[in-house]
Structure 1
Amino acid sequence: MRDSAVTLSETQGRIITSVGGLYTVETSCGMCTCKARGVFRKRGILPYVGDFVQLSEDGVICEILPRKNSILRPPVANLDQILFVTSSCRPDPNLLLLDSFLAVAIYQNIQPVLVLTKVDLDAAEQVRRLYTSAGIPVYAVDYRNGETVQAVAALLKDKVSMMTGNSGVGKSTLLNAMEPSLQLPVGEISEKLGRGRHTTRQVQLYPCAGGYLADTPGFSTFEAEQYVQMKKEQIADCFPEFQPYLGECRFSDCSHVCEKGCAILEAVQAGKIAKSRHASYCTLYQTAKQRKEWES
């Protein structure tokens, strides 16, 4: 379950749990519990769950190896993918919110995956087509067909993943179906995933379906601040369906919002890019444009 690009020695490992300044690190020799060097705090550096770290001879974290990505809430590094669980109805999908977080994942070099639930109530064919055409992998879960559950479970094998989504979309039901040993109460947040009482200082990676799964916040805690660091010029790169048209506009500094000769706007008008996706892009672009430089 380690990153194939990272070769760890006996004095290196991955942080699996963080609670109250203590870290559980998985090494080639097993698990060890340790603290981090005090110099990290002085420098404002916080080890994240998922970090690959170097351990000193006395079992203290002395170095954090380079991260390929990280998110703020929960503080997790080196994610391979984020599964965005969205119900086809009850509640209906919030496309702007979903598009915002898909963009965040792509910006952070994390593979986004859309998992649709409650398709027995609404097949959500329009949503499936919308995101499939946008280049986002889409998996529909129908509990009457166990293969649809297994297809999602297979995504977790040998990867570090996070699953998130609005409350009520069926995350606990899906997790129970993929990993029955979790026995999560449906409709509740379970302490087994680190979000119960007295666990606000704990972040953990849990074995699940042959991989690791980070504790699972809802969209309300997967904050919009994740894309604060995105400049307005970077947002178009976070919409995969824009890629064939970037560089084809009349003006090199085209914002893709309202300019004449914009290849992306022409693609929207031709039905090659969904209007809702472009509307979400425009909202994110305007938000970034209004943000002061010092806020980034």
Structure 2
Amino acid sequence: MNHLNGIIVKGIGGFYYVEAADTLYECKARGLFRKKKVTPYVGDHVVIRLEDDGTSTIEEILPRKNFLIRPPIANIDQLILVVSVCEPSPSTLIMDKTIAAAEEKGIEPVLVISKTDLQDCEWLMDIYRTTGIPLLTISSVTGEGVDAVQKRLRGKISAFTGNSGVGKTSLLNQIDSRLHLQTGEISQKLGRGRHTTRQVDLLKLSKETYVADTPGFSAISLERCDLIKKERLPYCFREFIPFLNQCKFTTCSHTCEKGCAVLQAVEDGIISKSRHESYVAMYQEVKDLKEWNLK
């Protein structure tokens, strides 16, 4: 028997594919994980055991620095949120929920605005310029901005997410033509794309550089899986943080109170009105929830 450290790059039908020592091993997980109700995730760093009969088993899941339930993935360095300026049009509320979920998990959010060859994106850029969130624009048709995304990925594990039809898969194919990922066309009737990504795969671009092509987030999945306590929510809007200790009242919810420094920053144009509106909408969703609702 021999033991190796590796990373799970794919999971399907109860089998996990682990990259270790420049080799891909098909592994089963120990029954002990099932008893403990622990599920191996793509992105998990694991210890595998090579059996004498040629089979392999995941013996241990090493500590995770973070994980997402939907899509199921662990140890992400950054979450690349791809949104199109049109076809389909972006929902800033869903964008801000996704960004806040990443912030809460300790994952760096990166916003990539696609289809800039079809429509001017300045209005969307204006909302996020003051957030401190890395902001990139791309066109998979002209290739503009793709190099900047590639540079952002180097040496990191990055999860790509975004609603169907925003050009996420086309972007990944431009980043590395070897991927040959399936792309889908926009449904004109529905105004959104058909899902072409069926599972989470960790794709190796180069040494220590991986990307995950993931099914698109939906508002429902975020509400169910990534509700954030009202006390934590302001800290998930990073541009709010400098103002949080400047409010007149320590119990300030930063939604409507007099003497609120966050509201003043919105008034002064330091914080975008759109971002604050998303915060208020999210706050209203969680303000009356008890601890057990967030489990």
Asked if 1:156 is matched to 2:153, the reply is: yes
Tell me whether 138-147 or 243-252 shows the greater mean CA deviation.
138-147
> Partner of 2:234 in structure 1?
236
Alignment TM-score, normalising by the size of structure 1:
0.86
Q: Report the count of equivalent residues.
A: 279
Asked if 1:226 is matched to 2:219, the reply is: no
Identity %, equivalent residues:
47
Query: Equivalent of 1:46, from 39, 44, 53?
Result: 39
Distance 2:7 2:206 in 1: 19
Q: Which runs of no fewer than 5 residues in structure 1 stay unpaired?
A: 1-8, 190-194
1:172-222 Cα distance to aligned partner (Å, 9 max, x none): 322222222233444259xxxxx76xx95x532112366222132112388
Distance 1:268 1:87 in 2: 25
> Partner of 1:33 in structure 2?
26
What's the secondary structure of 2:287's corresponding residue? helix
> Partner of 1:101 in structure 2?
98
Asked if 1:73 is matched to 2:70, the reply is: yes
> Partner of 1:270 in structure 2?
268
Which amino acid is 1:51 matched to?
Answer: D
Asked if 1:142 is matched to 2:135, the reply is: no
Distance of aligned partners of 1:269 and 1:183 in 2 relative to their CA distance in 1, 3 Å threshold: same
Distance 2:100 2:156 in 1: 20
What's the secondary structure of 1:240's corresponding residue? coil
**Structure with greater strand share of residues:** 2
Which amino acid is 1:150 matched to?
Answer: D
> Partner of 1:293 in structure 2?
291
> Partner of 1:215 in structure 2?
213
Which amino acid is 2:42 matched to?
Answer: V
What's the secondary structure of 1:241's corresponding residue? coil
> Partner of 2:163 in structure 1?
166
Which amino acid is 1:44 matched to?
Answer: K
1:142-195 Cα distance to aligned partner (Å, 9 max, x none): 357545111112222222111111222122322222222233444259xxxxx7
Alpha-carbon RMSD across the aligned residues, in angstroms, is 2.4
Distance of aligned partners of 1:273 and 1:258 in 2 relative to their CA distance in 1, 3 Å threshold: same
Distance of aligned partners of 1:124 and 1:257 in 2 relative to their CA distance in 1, 3 Å threshold: same
What's the secondary structure of 2:242's corresponding residue? helix
Q: Which runs of no fewer than 5 residues in structure 2 stay unpaired?
A: 187-194
> Partner of 2:247 in structure 1?
249
Using the TM superposition, give the Cα deviation of residue 101 of structure 1 relative to its aligned residue in structure 2, in angstroms: 0.4
What's the secondary structure of 1:206's corresponding residue? strand
1:238-289 Cα distance to aligned partner (Å, 9 max, x none): 1010011111112222111112211111111111111110110111111111
